[in-house]
Amino acid sequence: MSPTDRWLPNTSYALLGLLSLGGELSGYDLKRWADASIRFFYWSPVQSQIYGELRRLARLGLVTSRRVEQTTRPAKTLFSISPAGGEELRRWLEEAPVEPLVLKHPVALRLFFGQSARPERLRELLEQYAAENEATIAALAMASNALTRSNAPSGPGLVAAWGEQIYGAEREAIRRALEGLPPGPA
């Protein structure tokens, strides 16, 4: 990275970071790791974007790739973070400006305009969302187990706890919203 074109998109650093934790990974692996970790606090890019990002990172010399032929499965390309990539990751952590938190809460958005909807519909939305949220909590708990087994309460462990805090707060907010909703069915 020349100092003139400062920063890559955060997706790049997310991939670089996963490679810094994970050794040699394919694009496919990276998608799975992203789905099991950063997706809980920073969304998961789609496959096609991952492959594109990896090409860019390779072009910049931040990752190295190695082609692996397989007998049973089709060949794959494994990526590792390069020394330059490690430096860039550290540079980003040290110096990159931290963007504000982005929250896109489709249920809250609908609730906000709830005046225009039937109350039963709002209740339905909340109940649906409650189920999704519980599923997320369960998935996070599993991922958290896998992540914290090895590591000290460093990065992944800290963030897993953070996630539990957030989704727990959602659970509580849902409960209160359901209470606050007008009639109630039973």
Residue 70 contact, options a second copy, DNA, none, Cβ 5-8 Å cut-off depending on partner type? DNA
First to last CA, the chain: 62
Residue 27 contact, options DNA, a second copy, none, Cβ 5-8 Å cut-off depending on partner type? DNA
Residue 17 contact, options DNA, a second copy, none, Cβ 5-8 Å cut-off depending on partner type? a second copy
CB closer to DNA, 108 vs 158: 108
What long-range pairs does 83-88 form, CB within 8 A, spacing at least 24? 84/60, 85/16, 85/19, 85/20, 85/57, 85/61, 86/20, 88/1, 88/8, 88/16, 88/62
The residues binding DNA (CB under 7 A) are: 8-11, 26-29, 32, 43, 45-49, 51-52, 54, 70, 72-74, 76-77
CB closer to DNA, 42 vs 125: 42
Tokens of 49: 């974007």
CA pair distance 17, 14, nearest whole angstrom: 5
| DSSP reduced 3-state for 6 | coil
CB closer to DNA, 102 vs 186: 102
CB closer to DNA, 39 vs 171: 39
